[in-house]
Amino acid sequence: MTQSNRLDNGGRIDRSKPLTFTFDGKQYTGYQGDTLASALVANGVRLLGRSFKYHRPRGLIAAGSEEPNALMQLETGPYTEPNTRATCVELYDGLVASSQNRWPSLNFDVGGVNSLVARFLPAGFYYKTFMWPASMWMTYEKFIRKAAGLGVSPVENDPDVYHGTYAHCDVLVIGAGPAGLAAATMAAGSGARVMLLDEGSEPGGSLLGTSKNTAALEFVKNSMQELERNENVRVLTRTTATGYYDYNYITALEKVTDHLGPGNGGSLPRQRFWKIRAKQVVIAAGSIERPLVFADNDRPGVMLANAVGTYINQYGALPGKDIVVFTNNDSAYQVALDASDNGAVVTVVDTRSSVDPAVKARLEQNNIRLFEGHAISSVQGAKGVTAVRIMELSADGDSLQGQAWEISCSIVANSGGWTPSCHMVSQSGGKLKYVDEIAGFIPDDNRQKKSCPNISAGSCNGSFDTDTCITEGIKAGLDAAQRCGLSASAPSISNLNVSEIPLGDISPIWLVPTTHPVGEGSAKHFHDFQNDVTAADIHLAAREGFLSVEHLKRYTTTGMATDQGKTSNLNALAIMANIQGVSIPEVGTTTFRPPYTPLTLGAVGGQESRELFIQERQTPMHEWHVANGAKFEDVGDWKRAWYYPKDGEDMHSAVQRETLAVRESVGMLDASTLGKIDIQGKDALKLIEMVYTNNWQKLAIGSCRYGLMLNEHGMIFDDGVTTRLGENHYHMTTTTGGAARVMSWLEEWLQTEWPEWEVYCTSVTEQWAVMALNGPKARELLQSITDIDLDKEAFPFMTMREGTVAGVPARVFRISFTGEVSYEINVPARYGKHLIEALAEAGKKYDLCPYGTETMHVLRAEKGFIIVGQDTDGTVTPHDMDMDWIVSKTKEEYLGNRAQERVDTKREGRPQLVGLLTEDPTVVLPEGAHIVSEVLEAPPMPTIGHVTSSYMSPNAGRSIALALLQDGINRKGDVVTLCLMNGDVIKATVSDTVFVDVEGVRVRG
Partner 1 sequence: MFIVNCPYCGDRDQTEFSCHGEAHIPRPTETAKLTDDEWGEYVFFRSNPKGYHRERWLHVHGCRRWFNALRHTVTDEFVATYKIEDPRPPIPEGGQS
What is the contact surface with partner 1 in residues (CB under 8 A)?
Answer: 245-247, 249, 277, 429, 449-451, 712-713, 744, 747-748, 751-753, 755, 892-893, 897-899, 901-903
Q: Which is nearer to partner 1, 163 or 275 (CB)?
A: 275
How many other C-beta atoms lie within 10 A of the C-beta of residue 855? 29
Instruction: Please report the beta strands in 597-651, taking only residues with DSSP state E, as ranges in sequence order.
Output: 631-635, 638-643
Q: Which is nearer to partner 1, 483 or 834 (CB)?
A: 483
Q: Which is nearer to partner 1, 121 or 899 (CB)?
A: 899
* Residue 667 Cα distances to 29, 658, 661, angstroms: 72, 8, 7
Q: Which is nearer to partner 1, 243 or 819 (CB)?
A: 243
Q: How far is the CB of 249 from partner 1 (least distance, A)?
A: 4
CA dist., res. 765 & res. 86, Å (int) = 54
CA dist., res. 987 & res. 990, Å (int) = 10
Q: How far is the CB of 277 from partner 1 (least distance, A)?
A: 7
Q: Which is nearer to partner 1, 28 or 745 (CB)?
A: 745
Q: How far is the CB of 691 from partner 1 (least distance, A)?
A: 13
- 337 in Cβ contact with 500 (< 8 Å): yes
Nearest to 83 by CA among 559, 604, 600: 600
Q: How far is the CB of 240 from partner 1 (least distance, A)?
A: 18
Nearest to 826 by CA among 704, 678, 672: 672
Q: How far is the CB of 957 from partner 1 (least distance, A)?
A: 46
Number of H helices, E strands in the chain: 24, 47
Q: Which is nearer to partner 1, 865 or 894 (CB)?
A: 894
φ, ψ dihedrals at 419, nearest 5°: -110, 115
Q: Tell me, what amino acid is at 592?
A: F
Q: Which is nearer to partner 1, 245 or 797 (CB)?
A: 245
Q: How far is the CB of 192 from partner 1 (least distance, A)?
A: 19
Q: Which is nearer to partner 1, 437 or 892 (CB)?
A: 892
- Residues 586-590: contacts with CB under 8 Å, at least 24 apart: 587/549, 588/549, 589/426, 589/432, 589/441, 589/549, 590/549, 590/550, 590/553, 590/559, 590/565
φ, ψ dihedrals at 377, nearest 5°: -100, -25
Q: How far is the CB of 954 from partner 1 (least distance, A)?
A: 44
Q: What is the DSSP string of 839-881?
A: HHHHHGGGTEEE--HHHHHHHHHHTT---TTTT--SS--TTTT
CB neighbour list of residue 114: distance below 8 Å, 6 or more residues apart: 53, 54, 55, 121
- 199 in Cβ contact with 239 (< 8 Å): yes
Cα 36–Cα 39–Cα 45 angle in degrees, nearest 5? 100
Q: How far is the CB of 899 from partner 1 (least distance, A)?
A: 7
CB neighbour list of residue 795: distance below 8 Å, 6 or more residues apart: 788, 789, 801, 812, 814
Q: Which is nearer to partner 1, 130 or 754 (CB)?
A: 754
- 736 in Cβ contact with 718 (< 8 Å): no
Q: What is the DSSP letter of 329?
A: B
Cα 577–Cα 583–Cα 584 angle in degrees, nearest 5? 65
Q: Which is nearer to partner 1, 401 or 451 (CB)?
A: 451
Q: Which is nearer to partner 1, 127 or 247 (CB)?
A: 247
Q: How far is the CB of 938 from partner 1 (least distance, A)?
A: 38
Q: Which is nearer to partner 1, 153 or 752 (CB)?
A: 752
Q: How far is the CB of 33 from partner 1 (least distance, A)?
A: 37
Q: How far is the CB of 245 from partner 1 (least distance, A)?
A: 5
Q: How far is the CB of 636 from partner 1 (least distance, A)?
A: 17
- Residues 475-478: contacts with CB under 8 Å, at least 24 apart: 476/179, 476/182, 476/183, 476/186, 476/282, 476/284, 477/171, 477/173, 477/182, 477/183, 477/184, 477/185, 477/186, 477/187, 477/188, 477/189, 477/190, 477/282, 478/186, 478/187, 478/190
- 412 in Cβ contact with 380 (< 8 Å): no
- 652 in Cβ contact with 855 (< 8 Å): no
Q: How far is the CB of 902 from partner 1 (least distance, A)?
A: 5
- 599 in Cβ contact with 255 (< 8 Å): no
- 969 in Cβ contact with 914 (< 8 Å): yes
Q: Which is nearer to partner 1, 171 or 986 (CB)?
A: 171
Q: How far is the CB of 761 from partner 1 (least distance, A)?
A: 10
Q: How far is the CB of 424 from partner 1 (least distance, A)?
A: 15
- Assign 3-state DSSP to the chain and report helix, strand, coil percentages, each to 5: 30, 30, 45
Q: Which is nearer to partner 1, 713 or 729 (CB)?
A: 713
How many other C-beta atoms lie within 10 A of the C-beta of residue 143? 10
Q: How far is the CB of 875 from partner 1 (least distance, A)?
A: 15
CA dist., res. 362 & res. 500, Å (int) = 9
**What is the β-pairing status of strands 387-393 and 81-85?**
unpaired
Instruction: Find the helix or strand (DSSP H, E) in which 605 lies.
Output: helix 601-605
Spatial strand order in the sheet of 81-85 = 26-32, 14-23, 95-98, 71-74, 81-85
Q: Which is nearer to partner 1, 429 or 504 (CB)?
A: 429
CA dist., res. 685 & res. 760, Å (int) = 12
Q: How far is the CB of 547 from partner 1 (least distance, A)?
A: 26
First to last CA, the chain: 92
Q: How far is the CB of 449 from partner 1 (least distance, A)?
A: 6
Q: Which is nearer to partner 1, 747 or 791 (CB)?
A: 747
Q: Tell me, what amino acid is at 877?
A: T
How many other C-beta atoms lie within 10 A of the C-beta of residue 970? 14
Q: Which is nearer to partner 1, 307 or 715 (CB)?
A: 715
